[in-house]
Structure 1
Amino acid sequence: MNNPSIRLAVMSLFACAPFSAPALAADNAASGLAPIVVTDDAERAAYRARSNSSATRTDTPLQELPQAVQVIGRQQLDDLAATRLDDVLQSVSGVARQNNFGGLWDNYSIRGFSGNENGGMNILWNGFASNRGYAPPRDTANVESVDFLKGPAAALYGNSEPGGTINVVTKKPQFKAANSVDLSVGTNDFYRSTIDSTGALAPTVAYRLNAALETRGSVRDDVRSKREFLAPALTWVLGDHTILNYEAEFLRQRAPLDRGIVAINGNPAALPASRFLGEPNDGDIKMENQSHLLTLEHRLNENWQLRTGVFHKQGALNGYSTEASALQADNATLRRQRRYRDYSWHDTSLQAELGGKFNTGDIGHEVLAGIEADWLTLDQRMLRINPSAGAPYAIDINNPVYGQAQPTPTLNTNTAERQSSVGLYLQDQVKLAQRWRVLAGVRFDTFKSTLNDMRNNKVTTQDKGAVSPRLGVTYLLSDAFSVYASASKSFRPNTGADFNSNAFAPETSRAGEVGVKWQSADGRSGATLAAFDITKQNVLTADPVNTGFSISAGEVKSHGVEFDFSGKFGHHWRVAGNLAWTDAYVARDNTLKTGSRLVNVPRTSGSLLAIYEDADARGGVWGIGGGPSYVGARSGDQGDTFELPSYVTARALGYWQVTPKVRLSLDVNNLFNKRYTASSYSNLWIMPGDERSAALTVRVKF
């Protein structure tokens, strides 16, 4: 194994194994437990992935997948100057920002469905659920691609939202040495430095180290954040047929909990976007999060492979905040509440899979069988005080004066939650004749939870099960076009209890999707047009008999049409764009009006990014580009009582490869300084969008 050619051969062997990424294709980096492979850096420039492993846990050509899948690769992340997951959302159709808890974590919806209002939708990290409990907004310093899987993913990944799932795929260790440092400075006191280093530690051991330090202000008065990020990774080639991988992330963030501004008479832009309605003396909310992933790959023979993995995440959140509670009749006096949060969580998951290929006559099969188990502990302790009208902890929203005496909160929440689940999944990808492809899968889940409310001495338990099937058919019309249809089901447990302390029935969903896909002859460009219809039942709604309690009797629907395209055209142009029409609404509820729109979900949205690249007289590469993003009008709260107006923003970018080792880039967001509202939870918690900002970055390779 000391011979480099032998080592490369071993890596290439795994690259050709079932359900893994092919060598020389980093933009097709495998997800879940897929092996680390040696890749060619030149391929990282591809703007469109030709295959993907997130949707099936096997490396499958996009043209053969019976669902819409959008992959935002490293090149596009760099073009967008993305430092957060939030920076790539408008590059994918049907994705919308949701209430992000004052900027403390990621929260989005796909096709109208956003998940739990406190935890958000399911976001995967290399195929493992990564945002149970709480997690700071994901940093992109070590991200290779962000895979958006449209439609239900429960047949493989268990409980999830029916609109879609996001899988974040990280950069992998390489045996070829490469090192780079990025230094960025921008408006609003933005400073960021990152390092990306990879290479061989020994003939059979490779490493990768990504790190980032960042401070940034914002359009918001008295709101400033700091974060420290470290992500080490190692790969061991243990033998001709075995690879062991370890990855970790350590993230620390400090930022105030900022609920934004309030709407006055339904106008979400009545106050300046900079107006801070909390208390600077509260200080920061402190968040610490660490994740560890250990995977083992073993090739049994030419067609069969085993892989196992264990994932562990833990973290903590604590700090004071002052938040709006009621706007008085004078539309000037805002009563506020003060809270102290002390949350902690531990999340452990195990996966084991067997995959392989075989034929039955002229029919080809690629099968996958796996088992997954996870355990989550979530302890939440919150102190709160909401002063009475006689002694309000209030502020004048038109002329805020900070520094008043702060009331001492008292215990409001003290819970210990324990969750566990076991899932068994089976999948078969079938090749029928030359042009037909069938994808069939099913997952069986059992999940248990115990919620101990120590403040009220109540214990709520649930022990449920779910079956999540999916079936999809693809017909390859030609090398350029394919059509597909699919149907699937999903589920998501409801937390909490009803009036009688009984656990709620889980949400259940069913979805259907049809679409057509196109790819160019060279595979560098492609497009997807998809239409979908989704219904979700057992949504929590107000108990009509017992005030202040809920029952699982609501129903919401979403249907729409989406179009995404991306790729490289000719020698000079990289282009990516999307359009979406999404009709997401309440179909049945006890208190919400039937037909009312789901919060923060625009009916229409779209974006375009175009970049022209060429070489200068000395052979250095330069590029210039940009494009608009459009978000339609949205409901501002769950009751659809006020509206967030539509908006258009624009971005511009330019870069110059000064020497082979030095690159300069300039990125400008919200080029025309458009005032807009990013998201809202209610008329008291409205988050203004960012003003115009610019950042200059120098990248040095060594």
Structure 2
Amino acid sequence: MTLTAQAQSAPTDQQKQAVTLDQIQVSAQRLPLQSPASGGTRLDASLLQTPASVMVIDRQLLDARSVRTTQEALYAVPGLVVASPPGHGNTISYRGFSGSQISQLFNGIDVQYAAIAARPVDAWMYERVEAIGGPSTFLYGAGAMGGSINYVTRLARLDRDSLDGMASVASDDTVVVAAGINKRLGGGQRGGQQGDARNALRADISYSSSDGWADNNDRESLTTALSLASALSDNLTHTLAVEYQHEDSARPYWGTPALLSDSGKLQVLPGTETDNYNVGDGYYKQDVTWLRSLLEWRASERSTVRNTAYYYDALRDYRNVESYRFNSELSAVIRSDALLQRHDQQLFGNKLEWSYQGQIAGRSSQSNLGLDLSYNRQTRFPLSLPDDFDEVPIGAVTPGSFFDVPGAAQVFNPQRTNRVHTQALFAENLTELGQQWSLMSALRHDWISLNLENHQTASARNPARYQHDYSTATGRIAINRMLAPGWAMYLQYATAADPPAGVLSTASFSSVQDFDLTRGRQFELGSKWQSADGRAWLTLALYDISRENLAISDPDNPGQTLPVGKQSSWGAEAAFAWQPLSQLSLQGNLAWVDASLDEFYSGNVSYAGNQPANTPDTVANLWLDYQWQPRWSAGLDLRSVASRYADNANTLTSAGYTVWGANLRFTPQPGTELALRLRNLGDKTYVAYALNANMVYLGEPRTLELSWRQSF
């Protein structure tokens, strides 16, 4: 949500100053709480009208904060913590839940493998990022216990032409170059004005390369997107979109061996902060292709039909030694867990929706009905060598080869193919009950069929085939009350369902054989306020979430699962913006959560009442910007994360951290910006994610970036 300006008609010379002042005032009144609540509802409703915690991080905010990746975009979401170890992808903790309990979608499509598929990519190709807190299965399907994240890509537009680009150089020989163009085709000139375009083409490309802050972790990334929008008639439009992502990371940084203090705190041995203990020929690669067909038919003034057909193809390869621990003398690092892995995934789907605006019992009402079909197929090819491999000296510069590991070979033998068929019917409604009251409701029913095909030797614990069907209904009902213009309060109840063991697209027989879908529910009370002049806004939310019948992987018995029982959380979130002066703006968020494993057993040990691992109690973000001259501005940013337990037994902890950033921006002319940005100003060493009792994944050290942005 940002305080950005809306485009207005061109003023006369005499009116320019007055109209400019009017633009600022009107824009502040409209945004952000009167902007569309994309990601939180399929209905035509503003953030103020939507009784839920919804954040929309738009393109302007992404550019203003020099967001580099989809991971950095998520800092704007209250209470959300994210880290991206190579084997975990974009791992999120949100409202006390984490991993697959948070749905991560692309243009509203769930690839059912967010643990890896949502790993951070360059942010250039994205128009916005949307987040909704708490259960939202009723919107996007099974999952979404703690919340949903939706990454929305740029598409061709028929209303304007544009050309923009950026280039940056940064620490560790990091280079980013990106450009995008939107060009309308056809329409011609009518009376000196551009006529209505019948077609528009958009193309985006982004390339980045870096030596990485960890030793010899070289990375290259290429993202491209092409879309063609066509007005087939006055009421029918079609958009064809193709996207491609390629990432090649040599010798990925997998983590840093950790020491355990007497108080149970995980620490890093001084001098090892940037050491990389992966093998010299370790790598991670991914190639991802999206193809979407978007058809919209405006059947009448009140009725619209939309259809989205899509295809997704992903191939990911790993070859690494992934675990490191110190020997007893702290003179060397013991390496283990060599893994060669390939993920081959395809997803086909179609979503048909019908939206209607009318009346119910004389009250203004709008509805959305739909049918969602998908087929997900994934085959995994693992070669796992879990034993200790060798010892290397601390600070070793000769890391050895993956093929030095006994039994290692460049072979891809299929282990298992998972086929997941999903069918769903969904409905959503918003009805005005009066001038101050409105009721929003949603209902979705999913039918899910899982088919496992074992490509290895069959046994009683690992049969040749296994098939299971799941069925679940989830929903939301919420009431919204306008207390005054620009001030609303709401009360919401929502439910969710989550696959056993989290991800059906990679689940093994042992992880699903004894478990059904888990169930969850949330109560949320919130308020949203925006000042009359638009210079300030505030959102508050109190929530209580409970999830039952969980199944998780047993850390002591790989391939086995545990019936956890129950997990819950309750907490508070706030997001705000304030512009006390025309040159000064302040934005931020603050969140607190009390998360608990209410019924949790590991072996014969109960962890009831413990806090889930890597879940901080408090998270805060702050951005301060000051424009002291028309062309010059500067800013500070802060991110603070409380300490976290590193294990579910709550015997290990990782320290909290606060990191600062600063930026200086110069605008020599409209549409041109030069920026100097420092991240982690104090060069703080901090744990972004605790992997286990022996390893931590560190956050990025201090970096300096110089960037240029241009738009026409």
Normalising by the residue count of structure 2, what TM-score does the alignment of the two structures yield?
Answer: 0.86
**Counterpart residue number, 1:433:** 434
Is 1:394 aligned to residue 377 of structure 2? no
- Consecutive unaligned residues in structure 1, runs of 5 or more: 1-22, 27-40
Is 1:270 aligned to residue 254 of structure 2? no
**Counterpart residue number, 2:634:** 624
In structure 1, what is the Cα distance between the partners aligned to 2:353 and 2:457?
43
In structure 2, what is the Cα distance between the partners aligned to 1:567 and 1:349?
43
In structure 1, what is the Cα distance between the partners aligned to 2:104 and 2:398?
40
In structure 1, what is the Cα distance between the partners aligned to 2:647 and 2:656?
15
**Counterpart residue number, 2:230:** 236
Is 1:561 aligned to residue 572 of structure 2? yes
**Counterpart residue number, 2:128:** 145
In structure 2, what is the Cα distance between the partners aligned to 1:192 and 1:638?
39
In structure 1, what is the Cα distance between the partners aligned to 2:624 and 2:377?
45
In structure 1, what is the Cα distance between the partners aligned to 2:223 and 2:511?
45
Paired residues of 2:601 and 2:608 also in contact (CA < 8 A): no
SS of the residue corresponding to residue 239 of structure 1 reads coil
Is 1:261 aligned to residue 244 of structure 2? no
In structure 1, what is the Cα distance between the partners aligned to 2:710 and 2:296?
35
**Counterpart residue number, 1:181:** 165
Paired residues of 2:678 and 2:704 also in contact (CA < 8 A): yes
- The size of the alignment, in residue pairs, is 654
- Letter of the 1:628 partner, please give it: L
- Letter of the 2:258 partner, please give it: A
**Counterpart residue number, 2:153:** 170
In structure 2, what is the Cα distance between the partners aligned to 1:260 and 1:523?
45
What's the offset of the Cα at 1:570? 4.4
Is 1:466 aligned to residue 465 of structure 2? no
What's the offset of the Cα at 1:623? 1.7
In structure 2, what is the Cα distance between the partners aligned to 1:676 and 1:74?
29
- After TM superposition, the structure 1 = structure 2 runs for residues 230-629 of structure 1, keeping only pairs within 5 Å, are 230-255=224-249, 256-265=251-260, 266-271=265-270, 272-282=272-282, 284-324=283-323, 328-331=327-330, 332-387=332-387, 392-397=389-394, 401-403=398-400, 405-409=404-408, 414-457=415-458, 458=463, 459-494=465-500, 495=504, 496=507, 502=513, 504-523=515-534, 525-541=536-552, 549-566=560-577, 568=579, 570-591=581-602, 593-613=607-627, 615-616=629-630, 621-629=631-639
Paired residues of 1:671 and 1:692 also in contact (CA < 8 A): yes
Paired residues of 1:96 and 1:110 also in contact (CA < 8 A): yes
What's the offset of the Cα at 1:52? 1.5
Paired residues of 1:94 and 1:112 also in contact (CA < 8 A): no
In structure 2, what is the Cα distance between the partners aligned to 1:503 and 1:416?
20
What's the offset of the Cα at 1:101? 3.8
- Letter of the 2:52 partner, please give it: Q
Aligned CA distance change for structure 1 residues 57 and 226 (closer, same or farther; 3 Å)? same
In structure 2, what is the Cα distance between the partners aligned to 1:403 and 1:115?
32
- After TM superposition, the structure 1 = structure 2 runs for residues 53-68 of structure 1, keeping only pairs within 5 Å, are 53-68=38-53
Is 1:201 aligned to residue 185 of structure 2? yes
What's the offset of the Cα at 1:160? 1.9
In structure 1, what is the Cα distance between the partners aligned to 2:90 and 2:557?
33
Aligned CA distance change for structure 1 residues 695 and 130 (closer, same or farther; 3 Å)? farther
- Letter of the 2:434 partner, please give it: A
What's the offset of the Cα at 1:363? 1.7
**Counterpart residue number, 1:52:** 37
In structure 1, what is the Cα distance between the partners aligned to 2:394 and 2:596?
33
What's the offset of the Cα at 1:651? 1.0
CA RMSD of aligned residues (A): 2.7
In structure 2, what is the Cα distance between the partners aligned to 1:114 and 1:501?
19
SS of the residue corresponding to residue 586 of structure 1 reads strand
In structure 2, what is the Cα distance between the partners aligned to 1:675 and 1:44?
41
**Counterpart residue number, 1:77:** 62
Is 1:681 aligned to residue 682 of structure 2? no
Is 1:640 aligned to residue 650 of structure 2? yes
Paired residues of 2:452 and 2:509 also in contact (CA < 8 A): no
Aligned CA distance change for structure 1 residues 325 and 182 (closer, same or farther; 3 Å)? closer
Paired residues of 1:461 and 1:502 also in contact (CA < 8 A): no
Query: Once the two structures are aligned, what percentage of the paired residues are identical?
Result: 23
- Letter of the 1:424 partner, please give it: L
What's the offset of the Cα at 1:433? 0.9
**Counterpart residue number, 1:19:** none
In structure 2, what is the Cα distance between the partners aligned to 1:638 and 1:232?
45
What's the offset of the Cα at 1:554? 2.5
**Counterpart residue number, 1:157:** 140
What's the offset of the Cα at 1:245? 1.2
SS of the residue corresponding to residue 474 of structure 2 reads strand
SS of the residue corresponding to residue 102 of structure 1 reads coil
Q: Which of the numbers 202, 206, 212 marks the counterpart of 1:212?
A: 206
Aligned CA distance change for structure 1 residues 131 and 217 (closer, same or farther; 3 Å)? farther
- Post-superposition Cα deviations, 1:302-321, rounded to whole Å, max 9, x if no partner, equal 11111111121111011411
What's the offset of the Cα at 1:547? 9.2
In structure 1, what is the Cα distance between the partners aligned to 2:349 and 2:534?
36
- Post-superposition Cα deviations, 1:496-552, rounded to whole Å, max 9, x if no partner, equal 456597252112111111011111224464211111111111222578999963243
SS of the residue corresponding to residue 508 of structure 1 reads strand
**Counterpart residue number, 1:109:** 93
What's the offset of the Cα at 1:146? 1.1
SS of the residue corresponding to residue 63 of structure 1 reads coil
Paired residues of 2:678 and 2:703 also in contact (CA < 8 A): yes
- Letter of the 1:642 partner, please give it: L
What's the offset of the Cα at 1:409? 2.6
Aligned CA distance change for structure 1 residues 233 and 544 (closer, same or farther; 3 Å)? closer
In structure 2, what is the Cα distance between the partners aligned to 1:359 and 1:378?
45
Is 1:660 aligned to residue 670 of structure 2? yes
- Post-superposition Cα deviations, 1:369-392, rounded to whole Å, max 9, x if no partner, equal 11101110111001122346xxx4
Aligned CA distance change for structure 1 residues 623 and 130 (closer, same or farther; 3 Å)? farther
In structure 1, what is the Cα distance between the partners aligned to 2:343 and 2:268?
33
